[in-house]
């Protein structure tokens, strides 16, 4: 059985991470994704890290796609591109906002030759405004949207989150937008242009910090692992490692106090509610820190979880996460073999389907690898139109 997008064709001309990983997810769901590259290759072909000369990020973020090189600056290249568009359901691009209309591959131009086309744009800052024309990166967008200012130790200048946040959340919103546009097209017969941006995605996933600011008027600052509006909700040093403890309800707070053998805190009027614990944070946290260093982290985690308190060891080595039994039990890490670079591990898609599970295609290979088969399809389509 094919994936839920079997029969859908996507023309993916995007580069980097934001667009290409969205295209790879569509391929995982069964779509026929044709990656169209420039003659010099897209930007991720020239990045690292590499294995046997192959840039691993490019291989992973373009898996499951067929590859063809077209130079749309030439008459033949543009003709081939337009013929591909006529056969497509989705056109995915993440060019700077002035590029598509300049080269004749904008929504207004392509919808004339394929009225059923869902045109999907993924940009840094959206159309219009002073930043609209700018090229963007994950780090640039996070800095612009205030994420750096929220991270790091208390009193610090802010830090860059080490996970690449926006380059891999924005593709999710792109996939969602494409799927919704396809549903609307099938329901009403009307296609459309969908546009997602890193900025729009960052603001959407930052709802909690925004709500805190709108409600209080206070500008959020770095607080280490602590939570501005919930206490305790942070990392604690134990006898051998750090663990994270979260007490989002009064029941978990009381259970936490019982487990760490400080039941007197439950009846202390200064800590009777979460609001009061936030108010008296500087007095309470040192008391909790002194209690937590008495035992090893795994012992606290076992006891706290048994009592219904959310708690976890702080995984400092990413390799530990990838071998965690929760990850392996759900096959969240996939292993694919590439003819040139051997076995490669990569993350699974974020969805699970009971009847149409994701099927992971081969890792991205050589440029223009599928030139002959794609061109044959183009020739067939052109013959049919004559």
CB 143 within 8 A of CB 212: no
Angstrom CA distances, 295 to 46, 230, 257, stand at 49, 24, 15
Answer whether residue 53 is part of any domain.
yes
Let me know whether 47 and 193 are in one domain: yes
Question: How far from the centroid of its chain's Cα atoms is residue 367's Cα?
Answer: 25
| Phi, psi at 119, each rounded to 5° | -100, 120
Both tokens of 35, joined, read 């990656």
Q: Which domain covers residue 339, as residue numbers?
A: 9-205+327-385
The continuous run of DSSP H or E covering 253 comes out as: helix 250-259
What is the CATH classification number for the domain harbouring 53? 3.40.50.10540
Per-residue buried b or exposed e for 162-178, using 16+ beta carbons within 10 Å of the residue's own CB: eeebbbbbbbbbbbebb
Other CB atoms within 10 Å distance of the CB of residue 229: 13
Q: Answer with the one of 257, 280, 313 that is the final residue of a domain.
A: 313
Answer whether residue 318 is part of any domain.
no
Task: Classify residue 52 by burial, with Cβ atoms within 10 Å: 0-12, 13-18, 19+.
Answer: exposed
Let me know whether 309 and 337 are in one domain: no
Answer whether residue 121 is part of any domain.
yes
The continuous run of DSSP H or E covering 279 comes out as: helix 274-279
Residue with tokens 């593709």: 171
Let me know whether 194 and 116 are in one domain: yes
3-class state of residue 37 by DSSP: strand
Let me know whether 197 and 126 are in one domain: yes
Cis peptide before 305 (omega within 30 of 0): no
CA–CA dist 136, 125 (Å, integer)? 8
Give me the pLDDT at residue 379, please. 82
* pLDDT mean values, one per 10 residues, the chain (386 residues): 89 93 95 96 83 78 92 95 96 93 97 97 87 80 79 86 81 95 96 93 83 84 90 97 96 98 97 97 98 97 98 80 83 81 79 85 84 87 69
Q: Answer with the one of 313, 344, 367 that is the final residue of a domain.
A: 313
Closest CA to 201 of 181, 171, 180, 245: 171
CA–CA dist 225, 240 (Å, integer)? 18
CB 120 within 8 A of CB 179: no
CA–CA dist 107, 111 (Å, integer)? 6
CB 172 within 8 A of CB 166: no
Answer whether residue 156 is part of any domain.
yes
Closest CA to 146 of 81, 193, 73, 212: 212
Let me know whether 153 and 302 are in one domain: no
Let me know whether 33 and 128 are in one domain: yes
Total structural domains within the chain: 2
Let me know whether 307 and 159 are in one domain: no
Task: Classify residue 53 by burial, with Cβ atoms within 10 Å: 0-12, 13-18, 19+.
Answer: exposed
Answer whether residue 221 is part of any domain.
no
Let me know whether 24 and 76 are in one domain: yes
CA–CA dist 132, 324 (Å, integer)? 42
CA–CA dist 220, 223 (Å, integer)? 9
Let me know whether 380 and 305 are in one domain: no
Answer whether residue 58 is part of any domain.
yes
Closest CA to 100 of 67, 84, 122: 122
- Mapped to the 3 state alphabet, what secondary structure does 93-161 carry? ECCCCCHHHHHCCCHHHHHHHCCCCEEEEEECCCCCCCCCCCCCCHHHHHHHCCCHHHCCCCCCCCCCC
Let me know whether 307 and 341 are in one domain: no
Let me know whether 250 and 109 are in one domain: no
Answer whether residue 210 is part of any domain.
no
Angstrom CA distances, 285 to 49, 111, 212, stand at 42, 60, 22
Up-side HSE of residue 120: CA atoms within 13 Å toward CB? 32
Let me know whether 252 and 179 are in one domain: no
Answer whether residue 37 is part of any domain.
yes
Angstrom CA distances, 276 to 219, 230, 253, 282, stand at 21, 10, 13, 11
What is the CATH classification number for the domain harbouring 286? 3.30.1540.10
């Amino acid at each position: 059985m094919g994936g839920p997008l079997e029969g859908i064709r996507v023309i993916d001309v995007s580069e980097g991470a934001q667009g290409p990983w969205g295209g790879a997810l569509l391929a995982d769901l069964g779509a026929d994704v044709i990656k169209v590259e420039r003659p010099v290759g897209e930007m991720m072909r020239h990045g690292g890290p590499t294995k046997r000369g192959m840039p691993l990020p490019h291989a992973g973020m373009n898996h499951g796609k067929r590859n063809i090189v077209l130079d749309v600056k030439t008459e033949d290249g543009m003709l081939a591109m337009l013929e591909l568009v006529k056969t497509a359901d989705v056109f995915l691009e993440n060019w700077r906002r002035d590029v598509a209309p300049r080269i004749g591959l904008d929504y207004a131009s392509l919808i004339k030759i394929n009225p059923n086309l869902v045109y999907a744009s993924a940009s840094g800052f959206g159309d219009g405004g002073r930043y609209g024309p700018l090229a963007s990166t994950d780090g640039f967008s996070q800095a612009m949207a205030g994420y750096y200012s929220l991270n790091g130790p208390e009193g610090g200048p802010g830090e860059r989150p080490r996970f690449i946040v926006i380059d891999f959340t924005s593709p999710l919103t792109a996939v969602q937008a494409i799927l919704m546009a396809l549903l609307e097209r099938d329901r009403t017969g009307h296609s459309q242009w969908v546009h997602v941006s890193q900025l729009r995605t960052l603001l959407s996933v930052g709802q909690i910090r925004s709500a805190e600011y709108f409600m209080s008027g206070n500008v959020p600052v770095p607080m280490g692992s602590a939570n501005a509006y919930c206490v305790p909700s942070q990392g604690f040093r134990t006898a051998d490692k750090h663990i994270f403890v979260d007490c989002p309800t009064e029941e978990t707070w009381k259970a936490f106090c019982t487990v760490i053998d400080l039941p007197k805190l439950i009846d202390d009027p200064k800590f009777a509610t979460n609001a009061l614990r936030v108010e008296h944070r500087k007095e309470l946290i040192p008391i909790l820190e002194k209690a937590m260093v008495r035992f090893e982290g795994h012992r606290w985690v076992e006891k706290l979880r048994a009592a219904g308190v959310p708690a976890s060891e702080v995984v400092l080595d990413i390799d530990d996460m990838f071998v965690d039994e929760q990850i392996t039990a759900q096959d969240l890490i996939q292993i694919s073999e590439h003819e040139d670079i051997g076995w490669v591990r990569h993350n699974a898609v974020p969805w699970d389907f009971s009847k149409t599970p994701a099927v992971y295609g081969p890792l991205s290979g050589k440029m223009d690898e599928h030139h002959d088969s794609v061109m044959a399809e183009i020739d067939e389509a052109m013959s049919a139109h004559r």
